[in-house]
Amino acid sequence: MLSADNIAKLAMFDATRAADLAANFRVVADSTAGGQTPQVCIPVEMSFLLPDAATTDYDFILSEKLEVVDVTCIKDVAGAGNTITLKTGGGTAISDAIATAVDKTVTRAGTLDKATRVIASGGTLRITNTRAAGSSACYVLVKFLRRV
């Protein structure tokens, strides 16, 4: 059990560390903006465990403005011809169709559309899980950068 003194030290460390992080890591402008100075930022990664189901759209509301910069899929069981596609809430593709067919295989998005990959605060990220055969169950990791 932590003593009151140790809890106070941890709180001070966290406050100091938070100030250091705020000074060195910041939100950057959209990739659609021009003439930027390179900046260091901390990516946000979200994971989604999708069950085996018929072709389904899974919608997630984002609480802040984020830009998709990477998508990785891990297949849990075999399912020939299955794919994952990231889309906007309106159904416009952000990524290409990512193969999720072979058990234990890790696959990534081959393309991300600059015109659609920034999602506004309160906007929807849609993951379309397309099942052609076998199981469509998979694990999807999406990496974002915070945007202003």
Q: What is the mean pLDDT of the chain?
A: 83
- Look at residue 79 and tell me whether its pLDDT is greater than 80: yes
pLDDT value of residue 33: 58
Rg, Å, the chain Cα set: 19
CATH 2.60.120.380-classified regions of the chain: 44-146
Q: How confident is the model at residue 76 (pLDDT cuts 50, 70, 90)?
A: confident
Q: Give the bridge partners for 11, in sequence order.
A: none
Q: How confident is the model at residue 42 (pLDDT cuts 50, 70, 90)?
A: confident
Among candidate residues 129, 116, 131, the one with its CA nearest the CA of residue 73: 129
pTM: 0.75
Mean pLDDT value of segment 90-114: 95
The Cα 126–Cα 84 span in angstroms is 10
Strands 98-99, 56-61: pairing is: unpaired
- Look at residue 72 and tell me whether its pLDDT is greater than 90: yes
Kindly give, in sequence order, each residue whose CB lies less than 8 Å from that of residue 18, ignoring residues fewer than 6 positions away. Answer: none
Distance of CA 1 to the CA centre of its chain: 36
Q: How confident is the model at residue 36 (pLDDT cuts 50, 70, 90)?
A: low
Say if residues 18 and 89 touch (Cβ distance below 8 Å).
no
The Cα 94–Cα 56 span in angstroms is 17
The CA distances from residue 142 to 23, 48, 133, in Å, are: 26, 8, 24
Distance of CA 56 to the CA centre of its chain: 18
- Look at residue 93 and tell me whether its pLDDT is greater than 60: yes
Mean pLDDT value of segment 9-30: 54
- Fold exhibited by the domain 44-146: Jelly Rolls (2.60.120)
Q: How confident is the model at residue 127 (pLDDT cuts 50, 70, 90)?
A: very high
Q: Where are the alpha helices (DSSP H) in the chain?
A: 4-24
